[in-house]
Structure 1
Amino acid sequence: MMNKGNAARCAVGILGGLLLAGVGTGAFAQYPDADGTGDVDVKVDIAPTENGALSLTVAGTETTLTEGGTTATYRQFSGALPNVTVTDTREDVPAGVYWYVTGQASAFEGAAGQPDITADHLGWAPKVLTPNDGEVTEGDTVGTSIDGGANGVGLVDQELLALALDSDEAQATSGQWTANAELVLKTTTDVAPGAYTSTLTLSLFEDAF
């Protein structure tokens, strides 16, 4: 895994989320009508960021895997990661720095209390969609524990989606890069039926050589 150093990190979680809402109530004493009123205009002048920023956005907050390619030894479910875009609006990019995007998944939790499907069962095949001459490259295909082999580790730890070896060169070439990945979940044939949800966290880092 790459040394993150003092990495600037922007993380986005997909494939599951929780929204919390709070409502407060209170009782107020009755007051007499005001004898007069006065309005105050509140103004602010917000200047643009002088040097821009390096940021990450994701085109969607969820995706669904559907069954296909199941065999006598495993069940297979596939889908697509929503497009992940890195935008660099900085006018001055420090020399000797590079950015990269990683993904890490949580276990699939069953909606009806089924046993979890651990993240080593979820793999991906990244792809950079923005045309380029090697300024940004996609990460390696990560297989599942069902596949086995050196890359059959799943998305248990942070795995590389895309990498720019030179932030300055990538910014000068395009300034915006988009990647996605084919997602593949493989389970044993006796997996408990039902709905499952995992959270795939995407993170943008910038580090220096």
Structure 2
Amino acid sequence: MKITKGTAARCVAGIIGGVLLAGVGSTAFAAWPDEEDGSDVDVKVDIVPVAGGALSLTVGGTETTLSESGSTATFRQFTGALPDVTVTDTRTDVPAGVAWYVVGQAGDFVGTAGQPNITPDHLGWAPEVVTDNDGEVAPGDVVDTSLDSGANAVGLAGQELLYLALDSPEAKAASGQWTANANLVLKTPVTVEPGAYTSVLTLSLFEDAF
């Protein structure tokens, strides 16, 4: 059963966006004095399990690049792939009727040279579960762009990538780990301004009752 989103009890977010480059310079240091005496220190840590487990989201990369493919005389098309998105649930006691879902929200494609923005409704995706499962999770719907037609031609304005598919309000979440990804497609008018663009795609993990 696909859940209906309400007030989220839990949210973890990952962002697919640009790359921050940090330069590291070199500094000259005075030579250390000759060692007179010394001693080693053993550094120890005891990491205990999280009580009751945890629900978490990880993303297998911080950026992706779209390349032109499939353009026509009426639109330009750019395709690519979302990095793997993994949900891990190690909890031992989850109330019945509580389920999680991962939502993708794209921002404007912003031109690096001041070109007009490309709005997120021009970006669509086709989600896919890439780990084996027995039907406990399911991918979200294929989302088309606003240059397509049909009920799902809305772009990535808060669309499900992956969700826990409970079959009844009495069902409980299962522990496990599941990975999904998606083919991405950006469609623009043929009159789109040339140049480099960057968008931020935010992936959020919510948990809610239904």
**TM-score (normalizing by structure 2):** 0.82
SS of structure 2 residue aligned to 1:76? strand
* Distance in 2, Cα, partners of 1:64 & 1:146: 21
Equivalent in the alignment of 1:165 = 165
* Rounded Cα–Cα distance in structure 2 between residues aligned with 1:93 and 1:139: 23
Deviation of the 1:90 alpha carbon:
1.1
Separation in structure 1 between the aligned mates of residue 46 and residue 132 of structure 2, nearest angstrom:
38
CA contact (8 A) 1:79 1:183 kept: yes
Aligned position for 1:196? 197
Q: Give the corresponding residue for 1:178.
A: 179
Distance 1:170 1:147 in 2: 37
SS at match of 2:125: strand
Structure 1: which 4+ aligned runs deviate by more than 4 Å?
17-21, 40-46
Alignment of 1:4-19 (within 5 A): 4-16=6-18
Q: CA RMSD in A?
A: 2.6
Q: How many residues in Structure 1 have an aligned counterpart in Structure 2?
A: 193
The 1:46–1:134 alpha-carbon spacing in structure 2 relative to 1, beyond 3 Å, is: closer
CA shift digits 1:130-150 (9 cap, x unpaired): 122321011110000111321
Q: Is the 2:99–2:173 contact (alpha carbons within 8 Å) kept by the matching residues of 1?
A: no
Does the CA contact (< 8 Å) of 2:145 and 2:186 recur in 1?
yes
Say which SS state the counterpart of residue 133 (structure 1) adopts. coil
Aligned to 2:26: none
Query: Structure 2: which amino acid aligns with 1:122?
Result: L
- Report if aligned partners of 1:144, 1:153 keep a CA contact under 8 Å in 2: yes
1:84 aligns with 2:82: no
**What SS does the aligned partner of 2:94 have?**
coil
- Cα gap change, 1:20 to 1:138, in 2 (>3 Å): same
* Secondary structure, counterpart of 1:9 in structure 2: strand
The 8 Å contact of residues 52 and 88 in structure 1, kept in 2 or not, is answered as yes
> Distance between the aligned counterparts of 1:91 and 1:5, measured in 2?
23
Deviations 1:87-144 (A, max 9, x none): 0111222222111001000000001111100001000000011122321011110000
Distance 1:124 1:153 in 2: 11
- Tell me the secondary structure at the aligned position of residue 120 of structure 1: helix
Q: Is the 8 A contact 1:4 1:205 kept in 2?
A: no
**Higher normalized strand content (fraction of residues):** 2
Which consecutive unaligned segments of at least 5 residues does structure 2 have?
Answer: 24-40
1:109–1:197 Cα contact (<8 Å) kept = yes
- Give the gaps of 5 or more residues in structure 1: 22-39
